[in-house]
Structure 1
Amino acid sequence: MPVVPVLLVLVMGLPILWLGLAAMTATGSNGFTATMLPTALRETVLLMLTVGLATGVTGLVAAWLVTHFEFPGRRIFDWALILPLAVPTYLAAYTYVEFLGFTGPVQQFVRMLTGAETLRDYWFPDIRSNWGASVVLSAVLYPYVYAACRAFFLMQSASLDLAARTLGASRARTFFEVTLPISRPAIVVGVTLAMMEVVNDLGAVQYFGVNSLTAIIYSTWINRSDFPGAAQLAVTIVLVIALLILLERAARRNRVYQSHRDSRVPPGRERLKGGWAAIASGYCTLLLGLGFGLPFGLLVYLAFRRVSPETVSLTLTALGPTIVLATAGALVTVVIGLIAAKQSAGPAVSRGAIKIATLGYAIPGTVLALGLLQPLGKADLWINRATIALFDWRPGLVISGSMLALVYVYTIRFLAVGHSTLDEAMKKRGDNMLLAGRVLGARGLGLLFRIDLPTLTPAILTAATLVFVEIVKELPATLLLRPLGVDTLATIVYSHANVSLFAQAAMPALFIVLAGLVPVVLATRIGSGRKL
């Protein structure tokens, strides 16, 4: 049995193993879990289904338009429609409420037109509701479906569509009878990823008042200190995630039935004219505006409308810990990701163990943080007992009360990001360079630092950048495990938004979105280099 892969599974899987044990042996729950579980499951599933349906339709249509037709702005929309991924769901929620809420510009304009003064004088839909959560989450998560379907369409043969059109099928009939059926695997993959983001979200669902599983877990632990009940809910989330992963894997297996592009039939685009061209451009503009334009534009306006020493100080205060945590987390994650990537080249047992160890990316941060609270607390207890026995000194909370706990949970959460990037780079490089180095006498650390790492430098930098950005945006795990008095950009925005002071935290929020643009730009550059 390979030692390193098994050790990685145990270390990375500690939160889930601990929660599973706590859920099975739970005896102290106060009954709140049994009462809220049906409600939480119902609202979570309903939100997943509505967001899945909305993102599936909007993302598919957008990908179909930019890959099959030529219309004004298509080249810009081709890459720009991915930009909403730079906006975390909780920031989208805060900006939409700021824009559509009672004090926002839309309702101010309505009151100006109607002469109304209070909500009793006119009707306006309440954005802080289940339907509001569905709309906002769909607006920023549709790129998962768009990216999957766009890549799928670019790899497909244009001969299928051409044959259908030659036989007299209209655009609509070709879409519903040819394009839609063969693109189902890509749609399922994108929708599954969007649904997993819905399950993982905490800030947005809390703000909209949705009793989702993650929101109830957070409330059960923070407000009621009911760890057994929170563990039972966390295990329920893990089961939901496992079901989504199985669906996604099944969709990937179905890809063997796809018709790959014939090099003799390049992907052609039909030029739209008149009203159809305007509809296509308008549709893509609307998607981009709702998902990125409105949140980003409002953040820029709020951040620079009232620049004061207080807002600058607030931003700088949170920026320091954020950079430290993101840098430390990225460094540890990339190192472990490199070890995992090297183990992936081993036997089937090692590859299977590494796949299990990298599943943390699919688990909500709330669940991972909850699963680390007790084991890290016990580790601190053992450390204090040892130091008292040896040195008559009590260090206090060494792990659970420090940034080490956050670095640990970040590593578990984002190991898949670092591992996948490095694993792909190692497969592309191959072993020939390493074999040549060994023939020339390089061994051990010399081979590692003179040949192995230098040839992987671009992938290492890319992986570190992606993990760094993900940590900057991360909210749920940071809320639960951060040391007292330590705030990141995300937690500052969260705390201000929940006391109706989001405008004061617009500058930290803008920094988060700007950081989120980095992987989007990287993906766009990589995609442009592989353009078909």
Structure 2
Amino acid sequence: MRFSGRYFVYIIVIICLLPIAELIIEAVSYSDSGFRHIYETVLFSYITNSVILTIGVVVLSSLFAIPAAWFVARYHFPMARYFSWLLMLPLALPSYVMAYLYIDWFDYTGPVQSLVRYLFGWQNQSDYWFFSIRSIGGAIFVLALSLYPYLFLLAKTAFSCQTRQYEQAAMLLKASPMRRFLKISLPLCWPAIIAGISLIAMESLSDFGAVQYFAVQTLTTAIYDTWLNLGSLSSAAKIALVLLVVIMCFIWLEKQSHKKELTALANQLSSAKKRLVGYKKYLVFLFCLVLFLLAFLLPFIQLVYYAFVYFKSAFTPRFIEISLYSFLIACIVSVACILISLLITILSRYAKKQMLVISQHLSNFGYAVPGVVLAIGVLILLTKIDYLINDITMFLFNAEVGLILSGSVFAISFAFVVRFLAISNNTFSSRLENIPSSIDNAATMLRHSPLRMFLSVHFPLMKTALIAAFILIFIEVIKELPAALILRPFNFEMLSTYVFQYMSDEMIEQASLGALLITLLSLVPLLWINRLLNNKTEQ
């Protein structure tokens, strides 16, 4: 059983890697005039926009996250305890939803410019200057508000783990607070900051919904437009390969920073917080409050208002049907990922084969790949399989069965399993690492089989991890947009694509309820993770 199970794991891992392999083969093996035209005309502008967008989001996110993390981790000020988790909530709000709301506010017909015209008596746009929200600057601002929590969480943890000995020595040398921060605290936190910046850069490059709505042409939108408008999988694969190479560089950087971070923070004691007094505590409170208002509370209140006002027009039978189908696919994908991860992690623990450990790491690769890139790889793979099946049925029965894989819900489900398998893998691995090997040895001495050992020993200890993995994967499936847009069958919508399509058509009355549902569901894992972090801190 162990032998067959081990090879079954290898087959699963190979299947998970096939979409990326097919993408690379398609990109390097075939040439067409479509990509040549893209290369000669607009590819440079796609790359330039992607670079500008990424740098802008990284810089602005750092200006938001690093000061907030420093204040929350090292100082007492009004509501500091609440800001430690309130400033993480923007992750629950999809970036394309936030993009729509900010455009709705700052566009020419929005409340901000309308108020400006009313106050100053201006009649039209020629009477005054106002920045264009539908620009790369607007996209940078919104994505920074949406993504800064990645850096905030890592930096806050790193600042909290720093010892006060270096800072106290600097105080004896009469160094100013700013100098102590720049010369001591920030360099010690640099590995965590690099890791957070890498995550933000990867998310910025992978974003599709927000940049599409801001009309910013990046590599991600180029992949989608090339497939949708030109119908060229080969050209889309070539652009996707360029994006994949850039993403891999950031992944390598993040891994290197993570290793250094573990070394830098090892054996260090958490520092005592200092109490701010006078006007400083109000300035810090105001900074955190404004950041929370702009990044989450105001957009969330606006979304709740829209959902309440347009509830009757949004709560339609079609919305209910799409929600149920989305929940069903999310449940199927979550269960599939959990079963596969259980097989991989349990066999890795019992068999103790190096190849199984390597296979587990390889199966996590799909999560690092942008959804739009993975979707193109899945489409190439399943299309080839469909053609093969049709050739076989045509030869045997003189009939074609059609696109039974690439043109069905199977394509979306398969892509989601490949993409989110890493979540359940990492969740189960971290839980199993906390179970002492002596328990396994005791069960082995009692002559328990691996199956009985798992059912009687490991499974009861992993119930929380199972629930956590199910919730996290479920929410990720509900939120995923680029892969669902490319792989959805004809006349089929996921909740994310349903919301995006209506918001793209500026029909907020139809999209508001779905957007609010996605946001509320996304709050669940964030609040749960915050509770776990607080429990660890208290211990």
Deviation at 1:167, TM superposition (A): 2.5
Deviation at 1:439, TM superposition (A): 3.9
Q: Aligned to 1:471, which of 466, 477, 480?
A: 477
Q: Aligned to 1:97, which of 89, 100, 103?
A: 103
Change (3 A) 1:91 1:269: same
2:123 is equivalent to residue 121 of structure 1: no
Distance 1:155 1:285 in 2: 24
Distance 2:81 2:482 in 1: 36
Change (3 A) 1:220 1:506: same
> In the alignment, what sits opposite 2:488?
482
> In the alignment, what sits opposite 2:184?
178
Distance 2:290 2:266 in 1: 31
CA contact (8 A) 2:106 2:113 kept: yes
Considering only aligned residues, what root-mean-square deviation do their CA atoms show, in Å? 2.1
The 5 Å alignment of 1:384-395 reads 384-387=390-393, 394-395=400-401
Change (3 A) 1:284 1:155: same
Distance 1:390 1:143 in 2: 57
Q: How high is the TM-score relative to the length of structure 1? A: 0.94
Q: Aligned to 1:15, which of 16, 19, 23?
A: 19
Which segment is superposed worse, 304-313 or 184-193? 304-313
> In the alignment, what sits opposite 1:190?
196
CA contact (8 A) 2:314 2:509 kept: no
Deviation at 1:182, TM superposition (A): 1.2
2:366 is equivalent to residue 336 of structure 1: no
SS for the counterpart of 1:206 is: helix
Distance 1:157 1:81 in 2: 24
2:330 is equivalent to residue 326 of structure 1: yes
Deviation at 1:374, TM superposition (A): 2.4
CA contact (8 A) 1:434 1:452 kept: no
SS for the counterpart of 2:434 is: helix
Q: Aligned to 1:278, which of 275, 282, 293?
A: 282
Specify the code of the residue in structure 1 equivalent to 2:273: R
Which segment is superposed worse, 428-437 or 97-106? 428-437
2:87 is equivalent to residue 75 of structure 1: no
Distance 1:83 1:259 in 2: 26
Deviation at 1:151, TM superposition (A): 1.0
Cα deviations by residue, 1:466-523 (Å, 9 ceiling, x for unpaired): 0000011000000111122221211111111111213431110000101110110111
SS for the counterpart of 2:311 is: coil
Cα deviations by residue, 1:144-194 (Å, 9 ceiling, x for unpaired): 111101111222212222222232122111111111111110100001001
Cα deviations by residue, 1:444-477 (Å, 9 ceiling, x for unpaired): 5444433332321110110111000001100000
CA contact (8 A) 1:33 1:230 kept: no
Deviation at 1:286, TM superposition (A): 1.3
Deviation at 1:220, TM superposition (A): 0.6
> In the alignment, what sits opposite 1:424?
430
Q: Aligned to 1:135, which of 122, 141, 151?
A: 141
Q: Aligned to 1:295, which of 296, 299, 322?
A: 299
> In the alignment, what sits opposite 2:38?
33
Q: How many residues align?
A: 530
Gaps of 5+ in 1: none
SS for the counterpart of 1:211 is: coil
CA contact (8 A) 2:9 2:343 kept: no
Distance 2:387 2:214 in 1: 39
Specify the code of the residue in structure 2 equivalent to 1:281: F
The 5 Å alignment of 1:40-439 reads 40-255=46-261, 258=264, 260=266, 262-263=268-269, 266-345=270-349, 346-387=352-393, 394-439=400-445
Distance 1:396 1:441 in 2: 52
Specify the code of the residue in structure 2 equivalent to 1:464: F
Deviation at 1:355, TM superposition (A): 1.7
CA contact (8 A) 1:80 1:288 kept: yes
Change (3 A) 1:309 1:94: closer
Deviation at 1:61, TM superposition (A): 0.9
Distance 1:475 1:199 in 2: 14
Deviation at 1:202, TM superposition (A): 0.6
Percent identical among aligned pairs is 33
Deviation at 1:138, TM superposition (A): 0.4
Deviation at 1:212, TM superposition (A): 0.8
CA contact (8 A) 1:410 1:471 kept: yes
CA contact (8 A) 1:68 1:269 kept: yes
Distance 1:189 1:310 in 2: 40
CA contact (8 A) 1:311 1:507 kept: yes
Specify the code of the residue in structure 1 equivalent to 2:290: L
CA contact (8 A) 2:66 2:151 kept: yes
Distance 1:166 1:180 in 2: 19
Deviation at 1:51, TM superposition (A): 0.9
Deviation at 1:117, TM superposition (A): 4.2
Distance 2:276 2:161 in 1: 22
Change (3 A) 1:253 1:447: closer
> In the alignment, what sits opposite 1:513?
519
Deviation at 1:5, TM superposition (A): 5.2
Distance 1:292 1:316 in 2: 26
Deviation at 1:328, TM superposition (A): 0.8
The 5 Å alignment of 1:432-471 reads 432-443=438-449, 445-471=451-477
Change (3 A) 1:313 1:158: farther
Specify the code of the residue in structure 2 equivalent to 1:103: T
Specify the code of the residue in structure 2 equivalent to 1:110: V
Distance 2:186 2:167 in 1: 11
Change (3 A) 1:162 1:313: farther
CA contact (8 A) 2:16 2:366 kept: yes
Change (3 A) 1:106 1:405: same
Q: How high is the TM-score relative to the length of structure 2? A: 0.93
Change (3 A) 1:103 1:317: farther
Distance 1:348 1:56 in 2: 39
Change (3 A) 1:437 1:291: same
Deviation at 1:89, TM superposition (A): 1.5
Change (3 A) 1:285 1:433: same
Change (3 A) 1:394 1:242: same
Distance 1:457 1:386 in 2: 45
Cα deviations by residue, 1:200-225 (Å, 9 ceiling, x for unpaired): 11111111111110000100110111
Cα deviations by residue, 1:313-339 (Å, 9 ceiling, x for unpaired): 453132111101111111111112222
Cα deviations by residue, 1:361-398 (Å, 9 ceiling, x for unpaired): 11111111111112212222333444566667654332
Which segment is superposed worse, 426-435 or 408-417? 426-435
Change (3 A) 1:118 1:500: farther
SS for the counterpart of 1:248 is: helix
